[in-house]
Structure 1
Amino acid sequence: MECRIFTDPSNGATYQDLSESAQLAEEFGYAGFLLSDHYAPFAGDGQPGPTDVWTTLAGLARDTSRIRLGSLVSSVTFRHPGSLAIIVAQVDAMSRGRIEFGIGAGYFEPEHRAYGIPFPAVGERFDRLGEALELITGLWRSPTGQRYTFTGEHYRLIDSPALPKPWQSPGPPIILGGTGKKRTPALAARFADEFNLQTSRRRAPGKHQRSELMSRDVAAQIDLVRGAAEAIGRDPAGITFSMSALVGVGHTAGQATAAIDPENYAWQTFDGTTLVGSPAQIVDQLGPYAELGITRVYLRAPRRIDSLADNFELFAAEVLPQFGSTPR
């Protein structure tokens, strides 16, 4: 199982916070460092304010050398997909091919109101997501020197030079996710290299003492995505399934529990799986997820992971090797 770091800077983070965290994650040996894409806080006053995810990733591309970087995920409502294709391709080149492109329909209406961004009904947002995925991949995959035209209900591109091209060919891996039963699996089958799953029931911050694996729901969603891929002639083995988790690891129960104290996360909210225990116990707790077919996990982190350096370093030193990942 591959392990990456995920953090949500919307509730308050500076670029320096995120840069130092990405460099520390790279030093510890994690495979990736991904950021949410939000413009307003979910809790607290959000000081000092959000960092734009693609501006931030451009900087991180120059501040790091090995770790993969990306969005988990960008809302299709925030940026016109034509310009987004240019932005992502350029950041991919700046990182020399280390970008992961997560994109979704968007869901947090208050941030749209706060910055004057239109927030259509959910059906239209999914229509826009489908068109965006088609035209972005179309721009990236068009042969150099060939023009690209796209006509959809919401977006229209005419005679585009389809430049620049990403460093990765045909483009950065695409991450989708969600719990939808029809449109979500269909989009994943067509476009996704990775599908991010919700693996636990929602609960309030602080109530993280046990994991609630929804094995039937998770297995059913995986089957829907795989079935949709097979229906269009795609090998479902080409889709990676991932999850996120808040992890507290320690050599004592007190150390492990302290690592997931909400005070460490500076108002960052969390609504996913929580794993707590010794390194061996964490390996055992991840076992059922691996059995379901999940091969990538994102460890939730505060805006500055050095505030919990012992937790993330211990995980890297004693849990990663159990999955064949050796810290560098």
Structure 2
Amino acid sequence: MGDVARHAGVSSQTVSRVSNGYPGVIPETRELVLKAMDELGYRPNSAARALKLGSFHTIGVITFSLEAVGNHRTIQAISVAAAKAGYAVTLIPVDLPTQSGVEHAFGRLEELAVDAVAVIVEVHLLDRAKVVLPRGVPTVVVDSDAGDEYTVVDTDQADGARQATRHLIELGHTNIRHLAGPESSFAAQRRVDGWRESLSEAGLEAKEVMRGDWSAASGYEAGSILLADPDCTAVFCANDQMALGLYRAAAEAGRRIPEDLSVVGFDDSADTPAYSPPLTTIHQDFAEVGRRSVAAILEQLRTREHKPGTSIVPTRFIQRASTAPPAVSS
């Protein structure tokens, strides 16, 4: 820092103010200091600055599977929003979806330099695990029914399912099956609820739910069983990956999409327009989930107050070519 000060012709205190982002340095002087830093290859010591200021400008993100498209896109959205706010993200994956796995992840927070935490785990594990958050660490729970104890940012899962199911009902389908996610998943259960509610409102029967694990492979396996029902003319899939697996099962069963089988997904993944045919789906605004999560964290950091409550991000129906009225029997 002394070298930078001499090179720029300013005091060490001025270099410190520029380095730490303090106001009160005239633009011309700030440019001189930044130029000197660049020419000398000087980089501020972030660890030392954090100790001095009491802030690491880092958000910890605790999550389960990194393979799930929803989790991946949520993490990406939080990272982008955090970066725009000048924060880095430290990812803390939970190796096993168990109490001990969650406890271990939270325990690591005591070892890591983070200012706040975004948690993407199922609420039943938060409830059952003996999890004790470090005192004073702002926390936001993402896509989970965490109730009144936490600050929650959630996608409107049930309404998305209702939009998908109502679309199929409006097309004239009466035997609409659901390929759901895991029973342990809050999001999957909310989508099941929305599907059942819409069928009930229309006076239609909600037949047995088939379940997968969010992967295309599980969609293929569950879809192969589901399509054994010859009267099934439409399927609402809990995510786009399982819908992709269902596409394969339908092709092998000789069921054309959408002529013989209408399919609706959930997520609006980037590759769904490239499905054959392009997939009708429910759009999740992951970017907005990320923005709201980071905004809630920054508000807690600013006010030093914990404000429990839930912020719901709307979903949007995207119609493409995978749905049509049921074929008329000859």
Q: TM-score band (shorter)?
A: under 0.3
| Higher-RCO chain (CA-CA 8 Å, sequence separation at least 6) | 1
TM-score normalised by L of structure 2: 0.25
Say which one has the larger Rg. Answer: 2
TM-score of the aligned structures, taking structure 1 as reference length: 0.25
